[in-house]
Amino acid sequence: MGIKTLKKIFLGLAIFSLVFVSSEIFAQNTKQSVNKYVRVAIGNQNFQNYVYQTTTVFGTSDISVYDKKNDVLIAEFPADTFVEISMRNNTFEAKTTKTELNTEENTTQVVTALTDNDIVILCNGGFLGIKDLKRKGKQALYRTSLELIKKPKTENLFYIVNVLDIQDYLKGVVPNEMPTSFGLEALKAQAVAARNYVLSPRTRLVNEYDVVDSVASQVYYGANTEEKISNKAVDETDGIVATHNWELILAQYSSTAGGYTESFSNAFSDANNKKFPSIHKPYLVAKPDMISQLPLKTEEEVREFYTTKPDSYDIRSPYYRWQKNWTKEELEEVLTRTLKEQSKTGFVTPKFESEENIKLIDLRPKRRGDSGKLIDLEIVTDKGIYTVQKELVIRRIFQKNNISLPSANVVFEFVIDENNEILEINAYGGGFGHGVGMSQYGAGFMGKELKMPYDKILKHYYTGISLGTEPIILSAYPTQQKVTQRFYLDYKAAELVIDNKFRLSKINLTINGREMVLPLSQELFSFKTPIRIDISDFIKKGENEITFCYPLDEGSIKAVRLYVEAINPHADKFGF
């Protein structure tokens, strides 16, 4: 076999080369699909229900219905035909209305028994719709397929699940999670955050689908709400995720941080045991937008920050600073109701159980997060002192017109009379949402006004992250022998990051159609730290494709993990 050296790259004292090889090396490896799919449960109009007994579907072109278990075509219907599908005796049946001689008077209903298995509905060349279901005021339309999946252990009930490629899914998410007026770079940052969310492993309460289409997961409104600029943002971040220490990050985001993001542990409780504060996440740490901003360590510093409008990236948000006001009697009525409601969360101690209105004596902040976020508050009343923890619970305690506080970045002020009696309570605050991770208004300002690229936006809000392809494991295991990744790069610059602690001697790979072997000999590399290899000469600006193949002649006990990291050659421009 002829071998031709392509390039030598120096990494300290280590030297390696990529070499051309014949395509025969790759034939032995198991093929793996590039595309990844997501299963999205479709809710009703107000997202209150995800279980159906009947639904009416249609296609913008002809639709085909398959028995999912047997992969058999069981029915076909013309474009724009309303097909009512329901369950009777645990069997799906379809009902259509047929008009004779083009007159509305002579109509008959045609009922077709389909199958007692789950069904798949396809509309090749068009979109699928659900009659009378609207998103953003438009008829909801969906790409690829709809599956009607029986709900286990029930009679005649099913889920509606849209199964589609993750890229197409994100095109129905991004313009509904962020205003497209925020500009391309902010939308690209949102696309990466949304991709991280859907790819991250999670405990599923329902096995029949991965996510739902509401704020309980991410807002997904389907194909009819896609916009050109947000589609471009999804396409131009294809395959790119944010990682920290080889793991996909939890890419939290909220509308407005108020000039100072909060640490994850100070905003959320542990999902497993409800412990608060939660565990620390090193990439979700509190950070002011302005480097000159001093830490908010005292009540006076917090009050000064949230009763003024210092410069910040999300200063354009209507919720950057806000104010709420109650009379004493009004707030006492609110607290009597909300303390009882929020006692069910376990973050109000002792539990509030009184049916009589409290008399408010004082509000005592006991602990704040790094951003000044109120996370531990004592409410002093004539019926005792109640401790309220966790930002979301505090927001829901202090409601105005049945609407919770925009955020827990709040300070309180009492208006008192000449007898030192409370007349009114004012709340001054900043931000909207939990304030952890990316501020969407901040991202919009950074991208549109400051011309920052999306990677700089993400690296501001998520500390110490890498941007690149999803880390993979290459081994002799059948599903790990061959992995293909597609990814979009804004710059013709990238590095291959390899963790080779199991001492694989080489990797077979194809980069944009060029077949190569990457030697990983012990003499050249340390096995204790990841290897970083510049592959800029072999990739291109725009869409790229790499196939990694495990060399089976290495045996079955070795493995390697790796990913491609996107490099911004202008990284120093914005000081990150």
How many angstroms separate the CA atoms of 87 and 534, rounded? 57
Pairing of strands 37-41, 211-212: parallel
pTM of the model: 0.90
Is residue 446 domain-resident?
A: no
Tokens 């004082």, residue located: 362
Residues 6+ apart with CB under 8 A from 162: 39, 40, 42, 142, 143, 144, 145, 146, 147, 213, 222
Q: Do the Cβ atoms of 454 and 240 come closer than 8 Å?
A: no
- Whether 22 and 42 map to the same domain: the answer is no
Residues 6+ apart with CB under 8 A from 240: 192, 195, 467, 468, 469, 487, 488, 566
Around Cβ 320, how many Cβ atoms within 10 Å?
A: 22
Q: How many domains does one find in the chain?
A: 3
DSSP calls for 513-532: TEEEEEE--TTT--SSS-EE
How many angstroms separate the CA atoms of 473 and 485, rounded? 12
How many angstroms separate the CA atoms of 83 and 94, rounded? 6
- Whether 480 and 421 map to the same domain: the answer is no
pLDDT of residue 34: 66
- Whether 130 and 169 map to the same domain: the answer is yes
Is residue 219 domain-resident?
A: yes
pLDDT of residue 16: 36
Residues 6+ apart with CB under 8 A from 324: 398, 400, 405, 426, 427, 429
Q: Do the Cβ atoms of 107 and 137 come closer than 8 Å?
A: no
Is residue 223 domain-resident?
A: yes
- Whether 528 and 414 map to the same domain: the answer is no
DSSP calls for 114-173: EESS-EEEE-TTS-EEEEEEEETTEEEEESSEEEEEEPTTSSS-EEEEEEEEHHHHHHTT
How many angstroms separate the CA atoms of 427 and 398, rounded? 9
Q: Which of 442, 405, 428, 390 is nearest to 253 (CA)?
A: 442
Q: How far is CA 315 from the centre of its chain?
A: 24
- Whether 257 and 194 map to the same domain: the answer is no
How many angstroms separate the CA atoms of 411 and 207, rounded? 44
Is residue 67 domain-resident?
A: yes
Residues 6+ apart with CB under 8 A from 168: 143, 144, 223
Pairing of strands 438-439, 253-254: parallel
pLDDT of residue 425: 98
Is residue 487 domain-resident?
A: yes
pLDDT of residue 417: 94
- Whether 53 and 174 map to the same domain: the answer is yes
- Whether 415 and 480 map to the same domain: the answer is no
Q: How far is CA 318 from the centre of its chain?
A: 24
Q: Which of 427, 425, 469, 220 is nearest to 322 (CA)?
A: 427
Q: Decide which of 220, 241, 262 is a domain's last residue.
A: 241
Q: Do the Cβ atoms of 73 and 66 come closer than 8 Å?
A: yes
Tokens 């639904």, residue located: 55
pLDDT of residue 102: 54
The residue ranges of DSSP E strands in 308-373, in sequence order, are: 322-327, 348-349, 360-368
Q: Which amino acid is present at 394?
A: I
- Whether 229 and 258 map to the same domain: the answer is no
Q: Which two tokens stand for residue 495?
A: 């590095």
Please report the sign of the dihedral spanned by the C-alpha atoms of residue 464, residue 466, residue 470, residue 473: negative
Q: Cβ-count burial of 557 within 10 angstroms (0-12 exposed, 13-18 middle, 19+ buried)?
A: exposed
How many angstroms separate the CA atoms of 51 and 250, rounded? 29
How many angstroms separate the CA atoms of 368 and 277, rounded? 11
Q: Decide which of 241, 260, 278 is a domain's last residue.
A: 241
Task: Name the DSSP class of 553.
Answer: G
- Whether 311 and 259 map to the same domain: the answer is yes
- Whether 558 and 494 map to the same domain: the answer is yes
Per-residue pLDDT of the chain (576 residues; tens, 9 = 90+): 332 323 332 233 233 344 433 333 333 333 444 678 999 999 999 999 999 999 999 999 999 999 999 999 999 999 999 999 999 999 999 999 765 545 555 566 788 888 999 999 999 989 999 999 999 999 999 999 999 999 999 999 999 999 999 999 999 999 999 999 999 999 999 999 999 999 998 778 899 999 999 999 999 999 999 999 999 999 999 999 999 999 999 999 999 999 999 999 999 999 888 999 999 999 999 999 998 898 899 999 999 999 999 999 999 999 999 999 999 999 999 999 999 999 999 999 999 998 899 999 999 999 999 999 999 999 999 999 999 999 999 999 999 999 999 999 999 999 999 999 999 999 999 999 999 999 999 999 999 999 999 999 999 999 999 999 999 999 999 999 999 999 999 999 999 999 998 889 999 999 999 999 999 865 555 566 888 999 999 999 999 999 999 999 998 999 999 999 999 988 776 555
Q: Which two tokens stand for residue 243?
A: 């990682």
- Whether 170 and 298 map to the same domain: the answer is no
- Whether 473 and 562 map to the same domain: the answer is yes
Is residue 9 domain-resident?
A: yes
Q: What is the CATH number of the domain that holds 473?
A: 2.60.120
Q: What H or E segment, with its residue span, contains residue 94?
A: strand 91-99
Is residue 449 domain-resident?
A: no
Q: Decide which of 190, 218, 241 is a domain's last residue.
A: 241
Range of the domain at 174: 37-241
Q: Which of 229, 216, 240 is nearest to 166 (CA)?
A: 240
Q: Which two tokens stand for residue 465?
A: 């992250």
Q: What H or E segment, with its residue span, contains residue 74?
A: strand 72-77
Is residue 450 domain-resident?
A: no
